[in-house]
């Protein structure tokens, strides 16, 4: 039988075939192992990155929540402090208005005291005396002027401190507005999710804007504003207490000085009334004395006229007879008829010379009496001028 012809090719043996199959199986198993390792590492990395992202997101949200709570707490603190500053400003304004009213109330007493001094300077004569009333009035004027000066100083200081409180109020208001804006931004950031709109990549999102402050500086700024406001409020409270105490003390001094002035004036009026009554009594007694003296003068004149033989009218002389004529006639008659030095004649002779002597005595007595009346007469119209 003839030999079979075969296609020339490389032929492997069964052992080679088996070896090749085993090699392919081993290679496949190795590749599967490597792939499994890679898949496990990828899953682990995914889980790790997801966990880290979740933790970072949670931590960021927590920090944002803490920051928002801190900002909200300081915002409430600043609002409370600002409200107290407003109340203190209202209280200080009310106290300042009360002080201004007290200052305005001193104008009328000052005008009254000044007018009293002016009116008392219009006195004349010995009534223009430097009495205790003038002393008290001048002290009252000086006290009122000093009170006005003190109250004016208190008002000016209160106005200046109101400006300080207003400035602190503006600082607190600005800080509160900044806190409000920051709180709105933080709450907006806290509400963002991966499904929120307008989510995109930003250029250099971790940059620090110029003018930013550190958390310590931020805290110190708010604490400084609150501390300044509290200090200003304490000064305002002390100032209000001082103003109230000053008003009360000055009012007590004014009342005390006013009572002292009124007492001195009443005492002076009482002394003047006593002096007026005394002068009125002196006028009445002087007038009575003048009337009695005029009556005595008329009596002296009548006796003088009766004891002297003078005509009533020198143009038509009609002689009046009196005791002198009677004595002379009686003596002459006795001497011519009896021509004896008897007792009646001697008596008539003694009476006749004594009558002119009596008339002369009456004339001498009447002259000083008349002068006394002339000296006393001008005083009655002068004495009332002292009343």
One DSSP character per residue, 122-135 reads: T--GGG----HHHH
CA distances from 299 to 69, 305, 309 (A): 123, 10, 17
The tokens of 233 are what? Answer: 């409020």
100: enclosing H helix or E strand: helix 14-105
357/122 Cα distance (integer angstroms):
58
pLDDT tens readout for residues 322-331: 555 555 566 5
- Average pLDDT of the residues of the chain: 81
Our CA angle for 145, 150, 151, nearest 5°, is 95
**Annotated domain spans of the chain:** 45-190+216-274, 285-311+320-386
Residue 317 has pLDDT above 80, yes or no: no
Six-digit token pair at 46? 């995914």
Label residue 83 by pLDDT band (50, 70, 90): very high
Residue pointed to by tokens 């106290």:
95
Tell me the torsion sign for CA atoms 212, 213, 214, 215: negative
Look at residue 209 in the predicted model and tell me its pLDDT: 84
Q: Which two tokens stand for residue 299?
A: 């009596």
Alpha carbon distances (Å) from 8 to 2, 90, 240: 18, 119, 125
> Angle at CA 111, nearest 5°, toward 107 and 112?
115
Asked if residue 318 lies in contact with residue 312, where contact means CB atoms within 8 angstroms, the answer is: yes
Least confident of 18-32, 221-235, 299-313: 299-313
Distance, in Å, from the CA atom of 33 to the CA atom of 371, rounded to the nearest integer, reads 167
Q: What are phi and psi of 27, to 5 degrees?
A: -60, -45
Rounded to 5 degrees, φ, ψ at 99 are -65, -40
Q: Of 150, 170, 173, 169, which is closest to residue 89 (Cα–Cα)? A: 169
Q: Which residues contact 301 (CB under 8 A, 6 or more apart)?
A: 366
The pLDDT confidence band at residue 340, using thresholds 50, 70 and 90, is: very low
**DSSP one-letter code for 204:** S
pLDDT tens-place string over residues 268-282: 888 889 988 999 999
Decide if 317 contacts 296 (C-beta within 8 A): no
With bands split at pLDDT 50, 70 and 90, how would you rate the model's confidence at 335? low
Q: How far is CA 181 from the centre of its chain?
A: 44
Backbone angles phi, psi at 327, to 5 degrees: -65, -45
Predicted local confidence at residue 321, as pLDDT: 53
Contact between 35 and 146 (Cβ < 8 Å):
no
The fold for domain 45-190+216-274 equals: Ferritin (1.20.1260)
Query: What's the rounded Cα separation, in Å, for the pair 335 and 329?
Result: 10
Report d(CA 124, CA 131) in Å as an integer: 14
pLDDT digits (tens, 9 = 90+) for 189-212: 888 888 888 788 888 888 888 888
Q: Contact 383/290 with Cβ under 8 angstroms?
A: no
By C-alpha distance, which of 354, 355, 350, 352 is closest to 308?
355
Sign (positive or negative) of CA dihedral 31, 34, 35, 36: positive
pTM: 0.65
Please name which of 104, 150, 143, 120 lies closest in space to residue 258, comparing C-alpha atoms.
Answer: 143
Identify the pLDDT of residue 377.
47
Q: Could you read off the pLDDT of 65-74 as tens digits, one per residue?
A: 999 999 999 9
DSSP 37-71: HHHHHHHHHHHHHHHHHHHHHHHHHHHHHHHHHHH
| Mean pLDDT (whole number) for 331-357 | 51
For residue 372, CA distances in Å to 173, 285, 368, 379, 385 come to 97, 15, 6, 12, 22
């Amino acid at each position: 039988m003839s030999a079979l012809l075969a296609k020339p090719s490389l032929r492997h043996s069964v052992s080679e075939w088996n070896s090749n199959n085993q090699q392919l199986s081993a290679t496949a198993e190795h590749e599967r192992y490597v792939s499994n390792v890679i898949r496990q590492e990828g899953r682990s990395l995914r889980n790790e990155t997801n966990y880290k992202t979740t933790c970072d997101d949670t931590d960021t949200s927590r920090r944002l929540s803490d920051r928002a709570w801190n900002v909200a707490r300081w915002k409430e603190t600043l609002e409370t402090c600002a409200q107290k500053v407003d109340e203190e400003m209202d209280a200080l304004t009310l106290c300042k208005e009360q002080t201004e009213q007290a200052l305005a109330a001193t104008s009328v007493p000052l005008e009254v005291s000044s007018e009293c001094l002016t009116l008392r300077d219009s006195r004349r004569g010995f009534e223009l005396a430097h009495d205790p009333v003038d002393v008290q009035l001048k002290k009252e004027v000086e006290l009122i002027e000093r009170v006005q000066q003190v109250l004016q100083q208190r008002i000016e200081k209160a106005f200046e401190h109101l400006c300080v409180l207003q400035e602190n109020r503006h600082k607190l208001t600005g800080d509160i507005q900044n806190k409000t804006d920051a709180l709105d931004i933080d709450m907006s950031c806290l509400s963002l999710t991966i499904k929120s709109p307008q989510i995109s990549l930003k250029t250099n999102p971790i940059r620090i804007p110029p003018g930013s402050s550190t958390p310590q500086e931020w805290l110190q700024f708010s604490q400084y504003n609150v501390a300044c406001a509290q200090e200003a409020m304490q000064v305002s409270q002390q100032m209000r207490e001082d103003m109230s105490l000053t008003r009360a003390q000055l009012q007590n001094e004014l009342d005390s000085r006013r009572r002292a002035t009124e007492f001195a004036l009443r005492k002076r009026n009482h002394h003047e009334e006593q002096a007026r009554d005394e002068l009125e009594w002196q006028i009445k007694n002087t007038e009575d004395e003048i009337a009695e003296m005029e009556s005595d003068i008329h009596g002296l004149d009548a006796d003088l006229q009766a004891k002297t033989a003078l005509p009533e009218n020198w143009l038509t002389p009609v002689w009046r007879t009196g005791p002198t004529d009677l004595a002379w006639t009686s003596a002459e008659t006795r001497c011519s008829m009896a021509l004896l030095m008897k007792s009646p004649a001697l008596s008539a002779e003694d009476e006749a010379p004594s009558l002119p002597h009596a008339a002369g005595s009456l004339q001498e007595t009447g002259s000083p009496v008349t002068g006394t009346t002339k000296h006393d007469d001008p005083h009655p119209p002068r004495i009332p001028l002292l009343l």
